[in-house]
Amino acid sequence: MERTYLMVKPDGVQRNLTGEIISRFEKKGFKIIGLKMFKITRELAEKHYGEHIGKPFFTSLVDYITSGPVVGIVVEGKNVVSAAREMMGATDPLKAAPGTIRSSYGIDIGRNVIHGSDSVTSSAREIAIFFKEGELVEYSRDLDRWIYE
């Protein structure tokens, strides 16, 4: 089973979209194994978004992601990395497919409500940045037999 790192960004928290966003992944059938609210330090923001250092939007991206609390979510499930990216929609909310999270709740690329890892390698890196080993919970769910064949 894959894991991915999702994060309700500060705009999503301020706009009371946290429950709505978590609910989409719960209803889909994915399993939440880590969940917490926190504020990202500049240092961790620069580490998390390291691939974007030097790009014109980097400083405003770090300003935005550190501007208020976020909700970090680790989700487990079959193909969850790419499935979650599909559920989120394109980076630019106005270009995201209708019905996706970013399309439903966002307009500007710099206020796109949610983060999700873009690969299995990134998810391992990002989970390690934001969660300690003991903060991830292993448990079984009886309903998995109704979700997976």
Q: Which residues contact ligand DAT (rule: CB under 6 A)?
A: 52, 57, 61, 91, 109-110, 112, 115, 118
Q: Which of residues 81-140 bind Mg ion (CB under 5 A)?
A: 118
| Cβ burial, residue 51 (10 Å; 0-12/13-18/19+) | exposed
Q: Which is nearer to ligand DAT, 128 or 147 (CB)?
A: 128
Our measurement of the distance from residue 36's CA atom to the centroid of its chain's CA atoms, rounded to an integer in Å, reads 12
| Minimum CB–partner distance for residue 65 and Mg ion (Å) | 12
Q: Which is nearer to ligand DAT, 57 or 148 (CB)?
A: 57
| Minimum CB–partner distance for residue 7 and Mg ion (Å) | 11
Q: Which is nearer to ligand DAT, 10 or 146 (CB)?
A: 10
Among 9, 48, 102, 115, the active-site one is 115
Tokens matching residue 19 = 């429950």
**Residue 114 contact, options Mg ion, ligand DAT, none, Cβ 5-8 Å cut-off depending on partner type:** none
Active-site residue 48, yes or no? no
| CA 15 – CA 108 distance, rounded (Å) | 14
| Minimum CB–partner distance for residue 115 and ligand DAT (Å) | 6
| Cβ pair 62, 49 in contact under 8 A | yes
b vs e for 7-25, b when ≥16 Cβ sit within 10 Å of the residue's Cβ? bbbbbbbeeebbeebbebb
**Chain length of the chain:** 149
| CA 46 – CA 94 distance, rounded (Å) | 26
By annotation, the residues acting in catalysis are 115
- Residues lying near Mg ion in the complex (CB under 5 A): 118
